[in-house]
Structure 1
Amino acid sequence: MIVRLTYLSFLPQNLAQAKRIYSEQVVPVVRKQKGNLDCRLLEPIEKNDDYISMTTWESKADADAYHSSGTYRDLVEKVRKDFAKDPVLKVYTTESILEHA
């Protein structure tokens, strides 16, 4: 499984709007993508920390197809005006030594 984490910092005055757009427009589109297992926005407990958009995928191929299709870029553009700084994407695998035991 692949986990994509996009770290987001929103302008305080645009936070409510950004969260609404994410919930109403981003989540439904991502969840329809081939291989998507989950899509959610993680809200920081410490208000100075970034929000994190977390998507999980069945395979690296599915995650890569989503990214290269342009859908990811289009969804980021929906909330770009709400950013305090550019988002940062990091990708991880959930593979562990326990899966090989």
Structure 2
Amino acid sequence: MSRTIPEIRSRLHELAIEHGLPELAQLAEETKRQYHGRRASPRARPVDMAIAARVQRFARLHPNMPQREIGRRFGIDGGRVSEILFGKRGEPET
């Protein structure tokens, strides 16, 4: 059974209290993800229902075109194309 990092951190805190080892608690805290105040700016435009409908139509007309290429044509990520085609973004076209 493998444990997650938060589970390991919690267990280290328990051991630190049980054995009176503050350094162990401090080490456990160092396993937390560090945020450095930097985030990449979004590169793809937001997907609205109009774009979703156009992507669905285009994908139907070009069934062999990779989703990544469809995304490039519409200025969105290939993953967003997948979400549109599987109904997780925008309204499904009727």
TM-score (norm 2): 0.26
Task: Give the structure with the larger helix fraction.
Answer: 2
- Determine which structure has greater relative contact order: mean sequence separation of CA pairs < 8 Å that are 6+ residues apart, divided by chain length: 1
State the TM-score, normalized to the length of structure 1.
Answer: 0.25
Q: Find the structure with the greater CA-based Rg.
A: 2
